[in-house]
Structure 1
Amino acid sequence: MIAYFLRTVWNQQDKRGQSTLDKRGQSTLIGVDGWGWGGRNEVLFSFSSLWGHTMARLARADVFDPDEVAIAHVISRTVRRCFLFGDDPVSGKNFDHRKVWIEKYLTHFAKCFGIDLIAFAILSNHYHLVLRSRPDVVKQWDDTEVARRWLMLCPHRKDSNGNPLPPTESELNGIRKCPVELAKIRSRLSDISWWMRLLNQRVAQRANLEDEQVGRFFQDRYKAVKLIDEAAVLACATYVDLNPIRAAMAETIEQSDHTSAQRRVEAITGGPSVDSDDGLQHDDSFLSPVEIDEAAEQPGPNLSKSGSRCSEKGFLWFSKERYLELLDWTARQIADGKPGRTPDGLAPILKRLGLESSVWCELVTDFGKLFKTVAGNPFHVDAHRSRQTQRRFRVSRRVRDLIPSG
């Protein structure tokens, strides 16, 4: 087939082309399409040029190891980026209540999956999540716990409000007594792809039913970027939490509705700044703790004590209060466009990352543009390889300019 393709193109070039000299002084035919040929035995173009030098997207399995604890930034957008979670100019309707749906699903999923929810932001046509898979936690659950959690995610029975009912012994035995199915479900409970699959499926079905529509609600494939070092995790979490401010949907963290930052603030202040009857959980008990307390935390999975989240393991080396302070300062730089002095309390954080305040603000503002598949210090990304093909991951030139390697 390839030979036929080359012969066909050669014949077309032979008829339409004109003779010229290449850099080596050899006769070359340049056709109207600009393809060069060095005689019939030598082809001077690469096949990648036929497809615009665009590399195919890597398979998830080539980036994420299901048996490895990994942190990922995931984004899912509605079809054609329509505003199906907010004010839709096409229909003239407001769909803000769908943001409440998503947040309630996130709260429920955090209780059932072996995945830590680090950060989230729900906007009018897409949402951001920062998730940490925890196969080490799932391994600690016995067969009954695995079956129970799965049946709370995919229940056989629901109450009148559509909430899952606790599984019966018969339903539990249907999973516990089938080793193959049990192993499959155990793997799914720490799989970010299954989290996204069930979340998007629930939202899409509910929205289509409400709109009396059929077909796709979300774009084909969600985007996932693997975060491989602490600088990437901090920059990405900040980027996600400040998305409403960056999009001019809010002016402060407290006003950034449907974000993890707002929930963390409410956990400190004791509730929402305004009266709310949306039925949401206005605290951060379902979110991953911020600080990794090396003195208090026991090594290992550190399972959740409350049952409202996967584990008690934090994701940063400083406190929640300091993280919110960093968010507030960064938000002021993004909103005002007038970089000011970095507070003394934040200077050690940026110094540890080896970043200037201006570099930090650019990383947070343009995180989604700067990183595509893997995010981190260029030195760490260069040392990282895809699982199946051992390919290196691309780092943009701008990232190399911003972040010193090493």
Structure 2
Amino acid sequence: MPKPRKAQISLDATPYYHCVSRCVRRAFLCGLDQLTGKSYEHRRGWLENKLLSLPSIFAIEIAAYAIMSNHYHVVLYVDAEQAKNWTDYEVAERWHKLFRGSPVSTKFLQYKVLNDGEKINLDLLITKWRERLQDISWFMRVLNEAIAREANREDQSSGRFWEGRFKSQALLDEKALLACLAYVDLNPVRANMARTPEHSDHTSVKKRYKAAVKTREPNLPENQEKALLSFTGYPNNEQKKGLPVPLTDYLALVDWTGRIVRDDKRGALSNTLSPILDRLCIDQQEWLKLSQGFEKTYKTFAGGSGRMKHISQLLGYQRLRTS
């Protein structure tokens, strides 16, 4: 029996999670249906636009994503500190962008005076909404429900569009995080949907490439793609928030990996990127295994043995399934 989400997620262990949602019907999320000849390619734009809009509401940012034919991948970063610092008004305002809220919260947002009972009710609502706005389950629910409604309307259909549960993997250390980012960004290359990462439509890596070529200093967070979590440098960087390698190193690593992943681009392994892999204690063969088969290598949790022991204690697991 699957573990409940609360038994799989601990922000004390990691703020990074890899999530995957798959369609349940034969009709594609995107792409061309070979049986009917109908194209659903435009739906990738629906999903990408909705996905990139949600961080303006949730305390959750996008580290990577790739939208495929009948599923999508996304790596999420939960910014609990941001949610903690929101005022009550900001929490209510954000929630009302997603749902109707309640008569009490509507009255509060209109700056009307609340009586004592309404204040107690509002406090309870704000506490609940603050938690939900930093919850990946609610993030995925809002995203998937919006796309399901649009697709059902277009298909003149009803019922379930997505599988009941999205898959979630906790990324416990830098090695797992970087390998998962590359795995997600290289999905279209592995599926022969694109020849190179920078030509992979509806992916985070293409957005990062486009922003990088417009500036002479692509490693500065302010020069990177605004819709995505920035690469801020190495782990000893004073800035706590951000991905732990320079953007240019990551893009070079993804490009190198993509060339080897492609069947028509195979060749000798290069030594030029060894400093990045050395810092993560990964040899080149291990890196290729992780970046090509991350989901098969790890189950619910991804990381080294030390981090696995730590998360098992935090969540009360006797034994973690890792492979």
TM bin (shorter chain): 0.7 to 0.9
SS in 2 for 1:225: strand
SS in 1 for 2:257: helix
Does the 8 Å CA contact 2:14/2:171 hold for their aligned counterparts? no
- Out of 164, 169, 179, the residue aligned to residue 109 of structure 2 is 169
Aligned pair 1:239/2:220, yes or no?
no
Q: Deviations over 1:266-313 (max 9, x none)?
A: 112349xxxxxxxxxxx72110001246787555xxxxxxxxxxxxx2
SS in 2 for 1:321: helix
Give 1:287's aligned residue: 228
Does the 8 Å CA contact 1:99/1:122 hold for their aligned counterparts? yes
For the residues of structure 2 that align with 1:357 and 1:350, how far apart are their CA atoms?
7
For the residues of structure 1 that align with 2:60 and 2:191, how far apart are their CA atoms?
28
Aligned pair 1:322/2:249, yes or no?
yes
SS in 2 for 1:245: helix
Give 1:357's aligned residue: 284
The unaligned stretches of length 5 or more in structure 2 are 102-106, 216-223
Q: Deviations over 1:45-92 (max 9, x none)?
A: xxxxxxxxxxx2221111113677521100000015642211112332
> In 2 relative to 1, CA 114–247 (structure 1 residues): closer, same or farther, beyond 3 Å?
same
> In 2 relative to 1, CA 106–136 (structure 1 residues): closer, same or farther, beyond 3 Å?
same
- Out of 82, 92, 109, the residue aligned to residue 137 of structure 1 is 82
Aligned pair 1:184/2:124, yes or no?
no
Aligned pair 1:378/2:305, yes or no?
yes
Using the size of structure 1 for normalisation, the TM-score is: 0.70
Aligned pair 1:331/2:268, yes or no?
no
Q: Deviations over 1:173-204 (max 9, x none)?
A: 89987011110000011000000000000000
Opposite residue 130 of structure 1, the aligned amino acid is V
Superposed displacement of residue 387, structure 1: 4.8
For the residues of structure 1 that align with 2:113 and 2:134, how far apart are their CA atoms?
21
Opposite residue 268 of structure 2, the aligned amino acid is G
Give 2:46's aligned residue: 101
Aligned pair 1:70/2:15, yes or no?
yes
SS in 2 for 1:118: strand
- Out of 89, 94, 116, the residue aligned to residue 149 of structure 1 is 94
The unaligned stretches of length 5 or more in structure 1 are 1-55, 157-166, 272-282, 300-312, 397-406
Opposite residue 95 of structure 2, the aligned amino acid is W
Superposed displacement of residue 320, structure 1: 0.8
SS in 2 for 1:154: coil
Does the 8 Å CA contact 2:232/2:239 hold for their aligned counterparts? no
Aligned pair 1:261/2:205, yes or no?
yes
For the residues of structure 2 that align with 1:221 and 1:172, how far apart are their CA atoms?
40
Query: How does 1:18-97 map onto structure 2 within 5 Å?
Result: 56-65=1-10, 70-80=15-25, 82-97=27-42
Give 2:220's aligned residue: none
Aligned pair 1:342/2:283, yes or no?
no
Give 2:144's aligned residue: 200
Superposed displacement of residue 354, structure 1: 1.8
Which one has more relative contact order, counting CA pairs under 8 Å at least 6 apart?
2
Counting aligned pairs with the same residue, the percent is 39
Using the size of structure 2 for normalisation, the TM-score is: 0.86
Aligned pair 1:124/2:69, yes or no?
yes
> In 2 relative to 1, CA 168–257 (structure 1 residues): closer, same or farther, beyond 3 Å?
farther
Task: Kindly name which structure, 1 or 2, has the bigger radius of gyration based on alpha carbons.
Answer: 1
For the residues of structure 2 that align with 1:63 and 1:172, how far apart are their CA atoms?
41
SS in 1 for 2:36: coil
For the residues of structure 2 that align with 1:213 and 1:219, how far apart are their CA atoms?
16
Opposite residue 87 of structure 1, the aligned amino acid is L
